[in-house]
Amino acid sequence: EIVLTQSPGTLSLSAGERATVSCRASQSVNRDLAWYQQKPGQAPRLLIYGAFGRATGIPDRFSGSGSGTDFTLTISRLEPEDSAVYFCQQYVSSSSITFGRGTRLEIE
């Protein structure tokens, strides 16, 4: 099983700042990595797929980068509604898909 380690666990920033969330895989996942945003009581929302592809309707403030084992989600010009938990997910094999434990982003 591929383990995804996200850091930090919690991020507290102010509106207008930039957030950087890291996701490290225990072995290479090529670029088979997605990022999701989840707000309380809601289903996850796809942000990024294929490591850097932006999903439909996602603002360009959200960007993804990386390949192999190290990936980054960057959210620029933070807005209050960006407060949420962010998860990475690898899908290099259809028979074993895993998620990171999540990063909580708090906008002060």
Partner 1 sequence: EVHLVESGGGLVQPGGSLRLSCAASGFTLGYSWMSWVRQAPGKGLEWVANINEDGSEKYHVDSVKGRFIISRDNSKSSLHLQMNSLRVEDTAVYYCARGWGWLQFWGQGTLVTVSS
Q: Does 44 bind partner 1 (CB under 8 A)?
A: yes
- Please enumerate in sequence order all residues whose Cβ is within 8 A of that of 53, keeping only pairs 6 or more positions apart, or say none: 64
Q: Give the DSSP letter of residue 80.
A: G
Distance CA 63, CA 34 (A): 11
Q: Which of 46, 61, 63, 68 binds partner 1 (CB under 8 A)?
A: 46
The residue whose two tokens read 């890291």 is 22
Distance CA 88, CA 74 (A): 12
Q: Which of 22, 74, 83, 99 binds partner 1 (CB under 8 A)?
A: 99
Q: Does 52 bind partner 1 (CB under 8 A)?
A: no
Q: Which of 14, 79, 96, 108 binds partner 1 (CB under 8 A)?
A: 96
What is the binding site for partner 1 (CB under 8 A)? 1, 32, 34, 36, 38, 43-46, 49-50, 55-56, 87, 89, 91, 94-102
